[in-house]
Structure 1
Amino acid sequence: MKKVFALDNKTFNDQLLDFIINFKSEGDMFNDGDRNVIKTNTIDDVTINVKSFRTPNLVNKFVYRFFRKSKAQRSFEYAQYLENNDIGTPKPYGYFENTGILSFEDSYYASEHLQADLTYRELTTNFKYPNHEAILRAFTRFSYQLHQKGINFLDHSPGNTLIELNNGNYKFYLVDLNRMKFGEMDFKTRMKNLSKLTIHESMIKVMSNEYAKVSGEDEIQIFNTMWKETQDFQERYHRKKRLKKKLKFWKN
Protein backbone atom coordinates (compact mmCIF):
# COMPACT_ATOMS: atom_id res chain seq x y z
CA MET A 1 0.00 0.00 0.00
CA LYS A 2 1.17 3.50 -0.88
CA LYS A 3 0.67 5.78 2.14
CA VAL A 4 0.84 9.58 2.08
CA PHE A 5 0.06 11.61 5.21
CA ALA A 6 -0.46 15.34 5.63
CA LEU A 7 0.43 15.49 9.32
CA ASP A 8 3.74 14.75 11.02
CA ASN A 9 2.00 12.89 13.83
CA LYS A 10 2.90 9.20 14.06
CA THR A 11 0.21 8.29 16.60
CA PHE A 12 -2.55 9.92 14.56
CA ASN A 13 -1.23 8.51 11.27
CA ASP A 14 -0.95 4.98 12.66
CA GLN A 15 -4.58 5.08 13.80
CA LEU A 16 -5.67 6.47 10.44
CA LEU A 17 -3.78 3.73 8.59
CA ASP A 18 -5.37 1.10 10.83
CA PHE A 19 -8.80 2.48 9.88
CA ILE A 20 -7.92 2.27 6.18
CA ILE A 21 -6.65 -1.31 6.47
CA ASN A 22 -9.82 -2.35 8.33
CA PHE A 23 -12.14 -0.10 6.33
CA LYS A 24 -14.69 -2.83 5.53
CA SER A 25 -15.27 -3.73 9.17
CA GLU A 26 -14.67 -0.44 11.02
CA GLY A 27 -16.16 3.05 11.02
CA ASP A 28 -19.66 4.43 10.61
CA MET A 29 -21.30 4.35 7.19
CA PHE A 30 -21.92 7.85 5.85
CA ASN A 31 -22.69 7.10 2.20
CA ASP A 32 -22.89 3.71 0.50
CA GLY A 33 -22.99 4.71 -3.15
CA ASP A 34 -22.83 2.81 -6.41
CA ARG A 35 -19.39 4.19 -7.19
CA ASN A 36 -17.82 5.10 -3.84
CA VAL A 37 -18.24 4.37 -0.14
CA ILE A 38 -17.74 7.01 2.56
CA LYS A 39 -17.24 6.16 6.22
CA THR A 40 -16.41 8.23 9.29
CA ASN A 41 -14.39 7.46 12.39
CA THR A 42 -12.99 9.38 15.35
CA ILE A 43 -9.24 9.68 15.94
CA ASP A 44 -7.92 11.82 18.80
CA ASP A 45 -11.29 13.56 19.09
CA VAL A 46 -11.21 14.42 15.37
CA THR A 47 -13.94 13.04 13.12
CA ILE A 48 -12.33 11.63 9.99
CA ASN A 49 -14.10 11.15 6.66
CA VAL A 50 -12.66 8.45 4.40
CA LYS A 51 -13.78 7.98 0.82
CA SER A 52 -13.13 4.58 -0.72
CA PHE A 53 -13.09 4.85 -4.50
CA ARG A 54 -14.52 2.02 -6.55
CA THR A 55 -12.05 -0.43 -8.10
CA PRO A 56 -11.57 0.79 -11.71
CA ASN A 57 -12.32 -1.27 -14.79
CA LEU A 58 -9.65 -3.40 -16.46
CA VAL A 59 -8.36 -0.63 -18.74
CA ASN A 60 -8.23 1.98 -15.98
CA LYS A 61 -6.45 -0.44 -13.67
CA PHE A 62 -3.53 -0.23 -16.10
CA VAL A 63 -3.92 3.51 -16.74
CA TYR A 64 -4.00 4.42 -13.03
CA ARG A 65 -1.10 2.09 -12.32
CA PHE A 66 1.30 3.71 -14.78
CA PHE A 67 -0.04 6.87 -16.44
CA ARG A 68 -2.58 8.76 -14.36
CA LYS A 69 -2.88 9.88 -10.77
CA SER A 70 -5.60 8.12 -8.79
CA LYS A 71 -8.76 9.92 -7.72
CA ALA A 72 -7.54 9.72 -4.12
CA GLN A 73 -4.19 11.33 -4.95
CA ARG A 74 -5.84 14.08 -6.99
CA SER A 75 -8.35 14.75 -4.20
CA PHE A 76 -5.54 15.05 -1.66
CA GLU A 77 -3.32 17.27 -3.80
CA TYR A 78 -6.20 19.49 -4.92
CA ALA A 79 -7.31 19.92 -1.30
CA GLN A 80 -3.82 21.08 -0.40
CA TYR A 81 -3.85 23.45 -3.37
CA LEU A 82 -7.18 24.91 -2.23
CA GLU A 83 -5.85 25.34 1.30
CA ASN A 84 -2.76 27.14 -0.01
CA ASN A 85 -5.04 29.49 -1.96
CA ASP A 86 -7.38 30.21 0.98
CA ILE A 87 -10.31 28.29 -0.53
CA GLY A 88 -12.43 26.29 1.90
CA THR A 89 -12.30 22.50 1.82
CA PRO A 90 -12.29 19.85 4.58
CA LYS A 91 -8.75 19.51 5.93
CA PRO A 92 -6.88 16.75 4.05
CA TYR A 93 -5.18 14.04 6.14
CA GLY A 94 -3.84 11.61 3.56
CA TYR A 95 -4.40 9.20 0.69
CA PHE A 96 -3.75 5.51 0.25
CA GLU A 97 -3.45 3.20 -2.78
CA ASN A 98 -3.34 -0.56 -3.21
CA THR A 99 -1.55 -1.68 -6.37
CA GLY A 100 -0.25 -4.84 -7.93
CA ILE A 101 2.78 -5.24 -10.17
CA LEU A 102 0.81 -4.43 -13.31
CA SER A 103 -2.52 -3.10 -12.06
CA PHE A 104 -4.15 -0.58 -9.78
CA GLU A 105 -6.63 -1.94 -7.23
CA ASP A 106 -8.30 0.67 -5.02
CA SER A 107 -7.66 3.98 -3.25
CA TYR A 108 -8.80 6.01 -0.23
CA TYR A 109 -8.86 9.71 0.56
CA ALA A 110 -8.99 10.85 4.20
CA SER A 111 -10.11 14.30 5.29
CA GLU A 112 -11.84 16.17 8.08
CA HIS A 113 -15.57 15.44 8.44
CA LEU A 114 -17.41 18.76 8.51
CA GLN A 115 -20.87 19.15 10.04
CA ALA A 116 -22.11 21.81 7.64
CA ASP A 117 -25.45 23.58 8.00
CA LEU A 118 -26.49 22.93 4.41
CA THR A 119 -25.26 22.47 0.85
CA TYR A 120 -26.07 24.53 -2.21
CA ARG A 121 -28.68 21.86 -3.06
CA GLU A 122 -30.99 23.07 -0.28
CA LEU A 123 -31.10 26.48 -1.96
CA THR A 124 -32.49 24.84 -5.11
CA THR A 125 -35.28 23.01 -3.28
CA ASN A 126 -36.33 25.43 -0.52
CA PHE A 127 -36.76 29.03 -1.66
CA LYS A 128 -38.05 29.94 1.81
CA TYR A 129 -34.79 28.93 3.47
CA PRO A 130 -33.82 31.78 5.87
CA ASN A 131 -31.67 34.42 4.12
CA HIS A 132 -31.88 32.44 0.87
CA GLU A 133 -30.86 35.32 -1.38
CA ALA A 134 -28.04 36.48 0.90
CA ILE A 135 -26.54 32.96 0.94
CA LEU A 136 -26.90 32.67 -2.85
CA ARG A 137 -25.16 36.00 -3.36
CA ALA A 138 -22.35 35.02 -0.98
CA PHE A 139 -21.96 31.73 -2.88
CA THR A 140 -21.71 33.67 -6.14
CA ARG A 141 -18.93 35.81 -4.68
CA PHE A 142 -17.19 32.62 -3.54
CA SER A 143 -17.45 31.21 -7.08
CA TYR A 144 -16.04 34.44 -8.51
CA GLN A 145 -13.12 34.11 -6.10
CA LEU A 146 -12.48 30.61 -7.49
CA HIS A 147 -12.51 31.97 -11.02
CA GLN A 148 -10.16 34.84 -10.18
CA LYS A 149 -7.69 32.36 -8.73
CA GLY A 150 -7.88 30.15 -11.83
CA ILE A 151 -9.59 27.25 -10.07
CA ASN A 152 -11.97 25.48 -12.45
CA PHE A 153 -13.89 23.06 -10.23
CA LEU A 154 -15.31 20.72 -12.86
CA ASP A 155 -17.81 19.15 -10.43
CA HIS A 156 -19.23 22.51 -9.31
CA SER A 157 -22.66 20.94 -8.72
CA PRO A 158 -25.39 21.33 -6.01
CA GLY A 159 -24.10 18.73 -3.54
CA ASN A 160 -20.41 19.60 -3.72
CA THR A 161 -20.36 22.84 -1.74
CA LEU A 162 -20.86 22.65 2.02
CA ILE A 163 -22.10 25.83 3.68
CA GLU A 164 -21.61 27.03 7.25
CA LEU A 165 -23.91 29.90 8.27
CA ASN A 166 -21.91 31.46 11.17
CA ASN A 167 -24.54 34.11 11.94
CA GLY A 168 -24.37 35.56 8.44
CA ASN A 169 -20.62 35.15 7.95
CA TYR A 170 -21.13 32.40 5.39
CA LYS A 171 -18.29 29.98 4.73
CA PHE A 172 -18.08 27.60 1.78
CA TYR A 173 -16.17 24.31 1.48
CA LEU A 174 -15.63 22.31 -1.71
CA VAL A 175 -15.86 18.51 -1.62
CA ASP A 176 -15.54 15.73 -4.21
CA LEU A 177 -12.35 17.28 -5.50
CA ASN A 178 -10.84 14.82 -7.96
CA ARG A 179 -11.79 16.79 -11.11
CA MET A 180 -10.20 20.23 -11.37
CA LYS A 181 -8.28 22.36 -13.84
CA PHE A 182 -6.05 25.30 -13.03
CA GLY A 183 -5.28 28.34 -15.13
CA GLU A 184 -6.79 31.58 -16.37
CA MET A 185 -10.50 31.22 -17.15
CA ASP A 186 -12.14 33.20 -19.94
CA PHE A 187 -15.71 34.52 -19.70
CA LYS A 188 -17.42 31.53 -21.33
CA THR A 189 -15.48 29.03 -19.21
CA ARG A 190 -16.56 30.89 -16.07
CA MET A 191 -20.22 30.82 -17.09
CA LYS A 192 -20.00 27.15 -18.06
CA ASN A 193 -18.53 26.43 -14.64
CA LEU A 194 -21.78 27.69 -13.08
CA SER A 195 -24.10 25.75 -15.42
CA LYS A 196 -24.60 22.61 -13.28
CA LEU A 197 -25.89 24.33 -10.16
CA THR A 198 -29.58 25.02 -10.71
CA ILE A 199 -32.40 24.73 -13.23
CA HIS A 200 -34.20 27.77 -11.80
CA GLU A 201 -34.09 30.96 -13.86
CA SER A 202 -34.79 33.08 -10.77
CA MET A 203 -31.58 31.82 -9.13
CA ILE A 204 -29.60 32.46 -12.31
CA LYS A 205 -30.88 36.04 -12.30
CA VAL A 206 -29.70 36.62 -8.72
CA MET A 207 -26.33 35.01 -9.43
CA SER A 208 -25.92 37.05 -12.62
CA ASN A 209 -26.67 40.27 -10.76
CA GLU A 210 -24.14 39.50 -8.02
CA TYR A 211 -21.48 38.25 -10.47
CA ALA A 212 -21.85 41.51 -12.42
CA LYS A 213 -21.36 43.52 -9.22
CA VAL A 214 -18.10 41.82 -8.28
CA SER A 215 -16.68 41.36 -11.79
CA GLY A 216 -17.70 44.56 -13.51
CA GLU A 217 -18.99 42.54 -16.47
CA ASP A 218 -22.29 43.34 -18.17
CA GLU A 219 -25.19 41.79 -16.22
CA ILE A 220 -27.32 41.04 -19.28
CA GLN A 221 -24.43 39.27 -21.00
CA ILE A 222 -23.72 37.28 -17.83
CA PHE A 223 -27.34 36.18 -17.50
CA ASN A 224 -27.77 35.30 -21.18
CA THR A 225 -24.55 33.26 -21.25
CA MET A 226 -25.08 31.56 -17.88
CA TRP A 227 -28.69 30.70 -18.72
CA LYS A 228 -27.74 29.28 -22.14
CA GLU A 229 -24.93 27.20 -20.63
CA THR A 230 -27.40 25.94 -17.99
CA GLN A 231 -29.97 24.94 -20.61
CA ASP A 232 -27.29 23.28 -22.75
CA PHE A 233 -26.07 21.28 -19.76
CA GLN A 234 -29.60 20.17 -18.90
CA GLU A 235 -30.17 19.03 -22.49
CA ARG A 236 -26.95 17.01 -22.48
CA TYR A 237 -27.78 15.55 -19.08
CA HIS A 238 -31.29 14.40 -20.04
CA ARG A 239 -30.10 13.12 -23.43
CA LYS A 240 -27.53 10.99 -21.64
CA LYS A 241 -30.21 9.68 -19.23
CA ARG A 242 -32.49 8.75 -22.14
CA LEU A 243 -29.64 6.93 -23.84
CA LYS A 244 -28.78 4.98 -20.68
CA LYS A 245 -32.44 4.03 -20.30
CA LYS A 246 -32.55 2.71 -23.86
CA LEU A 247 -29.33 0.77 -23.41
CA LYS A 248 -30.65 -0.75 -20.19
CA PHE A 249 -33.87 -1.76 -21.98
CA TRP A 250 -31.94 -3.40 -24.81
CA LYS A 251 -29.72 -5.30 -22.36
CA ASN A 252 -32.78 -6.64 -20.55
Structure 2
Amino acid sequence: MQTIHIHDKFKAIEAQLLACISNFETQGEYVTKGERNVIKSFEIGAETITIKSFKTPKVINSFVYKHLRKSKAKRSFEYAVKLLDCNILTPFPIGYVEESSATGLKHSFYICRHLDYDFDFRVLIHNPELDHRDEILKQFTHFTYQLHENNINFLDHSPGNTLIVENGPKYDFYLIDLNRMQFEVMDLPKRMENLKRLWLSKKMIRIIATEYALISNEPFENVYNLLLESSQAFKRRINRKKYLKRKYLNNKK
Protein backbone atom coordinates (compact mmCIF):
# COMPACT_ATOMS: atom_id res chain seq x y z
CA MET A 1 0.00 0.00 0.00
CA GLN A 2 1.36 3.42 -0.98
CA THR A 3 0.49 6.85 0.32
CA ILE A 4 1.60 9.52 -2.17
CA HIS A 5 1.54 13.24 -1.63
CA ILE A 6 3.07 15.53 -4.28
CA HIS A 7 3.05 19.33 -4.16
CA ASP A 8 0.72 20.88 -6.72
CA LYS A 9 3.66 22.62 -8.44
CA PHE A 10 5.20 19.22 -9.25
CA LYS A 11 2.12 17.20 -10.24
CA ALA A 12 3.24 17.29 -13.88
CA ILE A 13 6.28 15.13 -13.06
CA GLU A 14 4.61 12.86 -10.50
CA ALA A 15 5.14 9.75 -12.64
CA GLN A 16 8.88 10.48 -12.94
CA LEU A 17 9.13 11.13 -9.20
CA LEU A 18 7.48 7.80 -8.42
CA ALA A 19 9.83 6.09 -10.88
CA CYS A 20 12.76 7.50 -8.90
CA ILE A 21 11.26 6.01 -5.74
CA SER A 22 10.73 2.63 -7.43
CA ASN A 23 14.32 2.58 -8.68
CA PHE A 24 15.87 4.18 -5.61
CA GLU A 25 18.16 1.22 -4.85
CA THR A 26 19.72 1.05 -8.32
CA GLN A 27 19.60 4.60 -9.70
CA GLY A 28 20.48 8.13 -8.62
CA GLU A 29 23.67 9.66 -7.23
CA TYR A 30 24.52 9.25 -3.56
CA VAL A 31 24.47 12.44 -1.51
CA THR A 32 24.71 10.68 1.85
CA LYS A 33 24.89 6.97 2.58
CA GLY A 34 24.37 6.65 6.32
CA GLU A 35 23.67 3.72 8.58
CA ARG A 36 20.13 4.94 9.18
CA ASN A 37 19.12 7.00 6.15
CA VAL A 38 20.18 7.29 2.51
CA ILE A 39 19.97 10.45 0.41
CA LYS A 40 20.25 10.45 -3.38
CA SER A 41 19.87 13.03 -6.13
CA PHE A 42 18.04 12.45 -9.43
CA GLU A 43 17.72 14.40 -12.66
CA ILE A 44 14.23 14.89 -14.07
CA GLY A 45 14.50 17.05 -17.16
CA ALA A 46 16.04 20.36 -16.08
CA GLU A 47 15.12 19.68 -12.44
CA THR A 48 17.48 18.12 -9.89
CA ILE A 49 15.69 16.57 -6.95
CA THR A 50 16.85 15.03 -3.69
CA ILE A 51 15.18 12.00 -2.13
CA LYS A 52 15.74 10.90 1.45
CA SER A 53 14.98 7.26 2.20
CA PHE A 54 14.39 6.69 5.89
CA LYS A 55 15.55 3.52 7.59
CA THR A 56 12.91 0.80 7.83
CA PRO A 57 11.47 1.11 11.34
CA LYS A 58 11.46 -1.77 13.80
CA VAL A 59 8.21 -3.60 14.49
CA ILE A 60 6.86 -1.37 17.25
CA ASN A 61 7.82 1.88 15.50
CA SER A 62 6.42 0.51 12.26
CA PHE A 63 3.01 0.18 13.93
CA VAL A 64 3.34 3.59 15.61
CA TYR A 65 4.22 5.40 12.37
CA LYS A 66 1.27 3.86 10.54
CA HIS A 67 -1.42 4.22 13.18
CA LEU A 68 -0.37 6.67 15.91
CA ARG A 69 2.21 9.15 14.64
CA LYS A 70 3.13 10.78 11.36
CA SER A 71 6.07 9.24 9.54
CA LYS A 72 9.40 11.08 9.39
CA ALA A 73 8.85 11.69 5.68
CA LYS A 74 5.42 13.24 6.19
CA ARG A 75 6.67 15.38 9.07
CA SER A 76 9.63 16.54 6.97
CA PHE A 77 7.26 17.68 4.22
CA GLU A 78 4.77 19.39 6.52
CA TYR A 79 7.48 21.11 8.55
CA ALA A 80 9.19 22.33 5.36
CA VAL A 81 5.91 23.90 4.23
CA LYS A 82 5.51 25.56 7.63
CA LEU A 83 9.08 26.92 7.53
CA LEU A 84 8.52 28.48 4.12
CA ASP A 85 5.25 29.99 5.33
CA CYS A 86 7.34 31.69 8.05
CA ASN A 87 9.88 32.90 5.46
CA ILE A 88 12.50 30.49 6.80
CA LEU A 89 14.50 28.82 4.07
CA THR A 90 14.66 25.09 3.39
CA PRO A 91 15.02 23.19 0.09
CA PHE A 92 11.61 23.37 -1.54
CA PRO A 93 9.38 20.44 -0.42
CA ILE A 94 8.10 18.38 -3.34
CA GLY A 95 6.36 15.54 -1.57
CA TYR A 96 6.58 12.29 0.33
CA VAL A 97 5.78 8.64 -0.26
CA GLU A 98 4.94 6.02 2.37
CA GLU A 99 4.89 2.27 1.76
CA SER A 100 3.08 0.16 4.33
CA SER A 101 1.41 -3.16 4.99
CA ALA A 102 -1.56 -3.95 7.21
CA THR A 103 0.76 -4.16 10.21
CA GLY A 104 2.74 -0.98 9.80
CA LEU A 105 5.00 1.38 7.87
CA LYS A 106 7.76 -0.27 5.83
CA HIS A 107 9.49 2.53 3.91
CA SER A 108 9.12 6.28 3.64
CA PHE A 109 10.71 8.84 1.32
CA TYR A 110 10.90 12.62 1.48
CA ILE A 111 11.40 14.50 -1.81
CA CYS A 112 12.68 18.06 -2.15
CA ARG A 113 14.47 20.27 -4.64
CA HIS A 114 18.22 19.84 -4.72
CA LEU A 115 20.11 22.79 -3.25
CA ASP A 116 23.54 23.88 -4.46
CA TYR A 117 25.10 25.41 -1.37
CA ASP A 118 28.53 26.85 -0.60
CA PHE A 119 29.22 25.25 2.80
CA ASP A 120 27.46 24.19 5.98
CA PHE A 121 27.74 25.42 9.55
CA ARG A 122 30.49 22.89 10.34
CA VAL A 123 32.93 24.96 8.29
CA LEU A 124 32.50 27.83 10.75
CA ILE A 125 33.56 25.53 13.58
CA HIS A 126 36.54 23.89 11.89
CA ASN A 127 37.89 26.94 10.07
CA PRO A 128 38.25 29.88 12.49
CA GLU A 129 40.11 31.83 9.78
CA LEU A 130 37.24 31.64 7.30
CA ASP A 131 36.68 34.95 5.53
CA HIS A 132 33.80 36.95 7.04
CA ARG A 133 33.26 34.29 9.74
CA ASP A 134 32.12 36.80 12.36
CA GLU A 135 29.66 38.39 9.94
CA ILE A 136 28.26 34.98 8.97
CA LEU A 137 27.74 34.15 12.66
CA LYS A 138 25.92 37.44 13.18
CA GLN A 139 23.62 36.79 10.24
CA PHE A 140 23.09 33.22 11.44
CA THR A 141 22.01 34.64 14.79
CA HIS A 142 19.33 36.72 13.06
CA PHE A 143 18.21 33.58 11.23
CA THR A 144 17.93 31.62 14.48
CA TYR A 145 16.13 34.50 16.20
CA GLN A 146 13.56 34.40 13.40
CA LEU A 147 13.05 30.69 14.10
CA HIS A 148 12.47 31.37 17.78
CA GLU A 149 10.15 34.31 17.15
CA ASN A 150 8.01 32.00 15.01
CA ASN A 151 7.79 29.56 17.94
CA ILE A 152 9.84 26.94 16.11
CA ASN A 153 12.02 24.72 18.27
CA PHE A 154 14.25 22.91 15.78
CA LEU A 155 15.39 19.94 17.86
CA ASP A 156 18.14 18.94 15.40
CA HIS A 157 19.73 22.41 15.32
CA SER A 158 23.18 20.87 14.79
CA PRO A 159 26.11 21.95 12.57
CA GLY A 160 25.36 19.67 9.62
CA ASN A 161 21.73 20.72 9.38
CA THR A 162 22.24 24.33 8.30
CA LEU A 163 23.36 24.83 4.70
CA ILE A 164 24.77 28.23 3.77
CA VAL A 165 24.56 30.00 0.42
CA GLU A 166 26.71 33.07 -0.17
CA ASN A 167 24.65 35.82 -1.78
CA GLY A 168 26.96 38.82 -2.06
CA PRO A 169 27.33 40.42 1.37
CA LYS A 170 24.29 38.45 2.53
CA TYR A 171 24.23 34.78 3.51
CA ASP A 172 21.17 32.59 3.14
CA PHE A 173 20.63 29.78 5.65
CA TYR A 174 18.66 26.65 4.78
CA LEU A 175 17.50 24.07 7.31
CA ILE A 176 17.54 20.37 6.48
CA ASP A 177 16.74 17.14 8.36
CA LEU A 178 13.44 18.55 9.48
CA ASN A 179 11.50 15.67 11.04
CA ARG A 180 12.14 16.68 14.67
CA MET A 181 10.52 20.00 15.60
CA GLN A 182 8.27 21.37 18.29
CA PHE A 183 6.08 24.42 17.85
CA GLU A 184 5.91 26.27 21.13
CA VAL A 185 6.47 29.64 22.76
CA MET A 186 10.17 29.81 23.64
CA ASP A 187 11.52 31.74 26.60
CA LEU A 188 15.18 32.79 26.72
CA PRO A 189 16.50 29.65 28.49
CA LYS A 190 14.76 27.43 25.93
CA ARG A 191 16.14 29.56 23.07
CA MET A 192 19.70 29.21 24.30
CA GLU A 193 19.15 25.52 24.98
CA ASN A 194 18.15 25.22 21.32
CA LEU A 195 21.69 26.29 20.29
CA LYS A 196 23.54 23.76 22.44
CA ARG A 197 24.11 21.21 19.65
CA LEU A 198 26.09 23.64 17.46
CA TRP A 199 29.37 22.80 19.26
CA LEU A 200 30.29 26.46 19.61
CA SER A 201 33.68 27.75 20.75
CA LYS A 202 33.76 30.44 23.44
CA LYS A 203 34.49 33.05 20.79
CA MET A 204 31.50 31.90 18.72
CA ILE A 205 29.33 31.94 21.85
CA ARG A 206 30.35 35.54 22.57
CA ILE A 207 29.61 36.69 19.01
CA ILE A 208 26.21 34.97 18.92
CA ALA A 209 25.26 36.08 22.45
CA THR A 210 26.21 39.70 21.69
CA GLU A 211 24.10 39.75 18.53
CA TYR A 212 21.17 37.87 20.08
CA ALA A 213 21.09 40.27 23.03
CA LEU A 214 21.08 43.22 20.63
CA ILE A 215 18.19 41.82 18.57
CA SER A 216 16.10 40.63 21.50
CA ASN A 217 16.78 43.51 23.94
CA GLU A 218 17.82 40.95 26.54
CA PRO A 219 20.77 41.70 28.85
CA PHE A 220 23.98 40.38 27.31
CA GLU A 221 25.03 38.66 30.55
CA ASN A 222 21.81 36.65 30.65
CA VAL A 223 22.11 35.53 27.04
CA TYR A 224 25.82 34.76 27.27
CA ASN A 225 25.62 32.81 30.54
CA LEU A 226 22.65 30.73 29.41
CA LEU A 227 24.24 29.91 26.05
CA LEU A 228 27.63 29.11 27.61
CA GLU A 229 26.05 26.88 30.26
CA SER A 230 23.86 24.91 27.83
CA SER A 231 26.67 24.53 25.27
CA GLN A 232 29.23 23.32 27.81
CA ALA A 233 26.77 20.94 29.47
CA PHE A 234 25.99 19.38 26.09
CA LYS A 235 29.70 18.98 25.26
CA ARG A 236 30.37 17.34 28.63
CA ARG A 237 27.52 14.90 28.11
CA ILE A 238 28.66 13.94 24.61
CA ASN A 239 32.31 13.62 25.64
CA ARG A 240 31.34 11.45 28.60
CA LYS A 241 29.35 9.15 26.32
CA LYS A 242 32.36 8.85 24.02
CA TYR A 243 34.62 8.10 26.98
CA LEU A 244 32.32 5.42 28.35
CA LYS A 245 31.97 3.86 24.91
CA ARG A 246 35.77 3.72 24.44
CA LYS A 247 36.17 2.26 27.92
CA TYR A 248 33.55 -0.39 27.20
CA LEU A 249 35.17 -1.34 23.87
CA ASN A 250 38.64 -1.50 25.45
CA ASN A 251 37.35 -3.76 28.22
CA LYS A 252 35.93 -6.13 25.62
CA LYS A 253 39.34 -6.65 23.97
TM range (shorter): over 0.9
Q: Distance in 2 between matches of 1:226 and 1:9?
A: 42
Q: Tell me, what secondary structure is at the counterpart of 1:89?
A: coil
Contact 1:7–1:13 under 8 Å retained in 2: no
Q: Distance in 2 between matches of 1:165 and 1:245?
A: 39
How far the C-alpha of 1:241 sits from its partner, in A, is 2.9
Aligned twin of 2:230 = 229
Task: Kindly provide the CA deviation profile for residues 15-62 of structure 1, in whole angstroms up to 9, marking residues without a partner as x.
Answer: 011100110011111111111000001113111000000011122111
Aligned twin of 1:101 = 102
Aligned twin of 1:49 = 50
Aligned twin of 2:184 = 183
How far the C-alpha of 1:245 sits from its partner, in A, is 4.3
Contact 2:199–2:235 under 8 Å retained in 1: no
Contact 1:12–1:44 under 8 Å retained in 2: no
How far the C-alpha of 1:250 sits from its partner, in A, is 7.1
Cα 1:87–1:242 change in 2 (3 A) is: same
Contact 1:30–1:38 under 8 Å retained in 2: yes
Within-5 A mapping of 1:4-23: 4-23=5-24
Aligned twin of 1:238 = 239
Q: Distance in 2 between matches of 1:104 and 1:247?
A: 35
Aligned twin of 1:209 = 210
How far the C-alpha of 1:95 sits from its partner, in A, is 0.4
Q: Distance in 2 between matches of 1:248 and 1:64?
A: 34
Q: Distance in 2 between matches of 1:42 and 1:243?
A: 44
Aligned twin of 1:173 = 174
Q: Distance in 1 between matches of 2:201 and 2:57?
A: 35
Aligned twin of 1:77 = 78
How far the C-alpha of 1:128 sits from its partner, in A, is 1.2
Cα 1:63–1:201 change in 2 (3 A) is: same
Unaligned runs of 5+ in 2: none
How far the C-alpha of 1:9 sits from its partner, in A, is 4.2
Q: Distance in 2 between matches of 1:8 and 1:208?
A: 40
Aligned twin of 1:62 = 63
Contact 2:138–2:207 under 8 Å retained in 1: yes
Cα 1:127–1:20 change in 2 (3 A) is: same
How far the C-alpha of 1:78 sits from its partner, in A, is 0.2
**Aligned length, in residue pairs:** 252
Within-5 A mapping of 1:129-208: 129-208=130-209
Q: Tell me, what secondary structure is at the counterpart of 1:101?
A: coil
Cα 1:200–1:8 change in 2 (3 A) is: closer
Q: Tell me, what secondary structure is at the counterpart of 2:8?
A: coil
Whether 2:126 is the aligned partner of 1:125: answer yes
Identity of aligned residues (%): 44
Q: Distance in 1 between matches of 2:166 and 2:177?
A: 21
How far the C-alpha of 1:205 sits from its partner, in A, is 0.4
Q: In structure 2, what residue type is equivalent to 1:46?
A: E
Q: In structure 2, what residue type is equivalent to 1:114?
A: L
Q: Tell me, what secondary structure is at the counterpart of 1:68?
A: coil
Q: Tell me, what secondary structure is at the counterpart of 2:153?
A: strand
Cα 1:99–1:246 change in 2 (3 A) is: farther
Unaligned runs of 5+ in 1: none
Q: TM-score, normalised by structure 1?
A: 0.96
How far the C-alpha of 1:121 sits from its partner, in A, is 0.7
Q: Distance in 1 between matches of 2:11 and 2:188?
A: 46
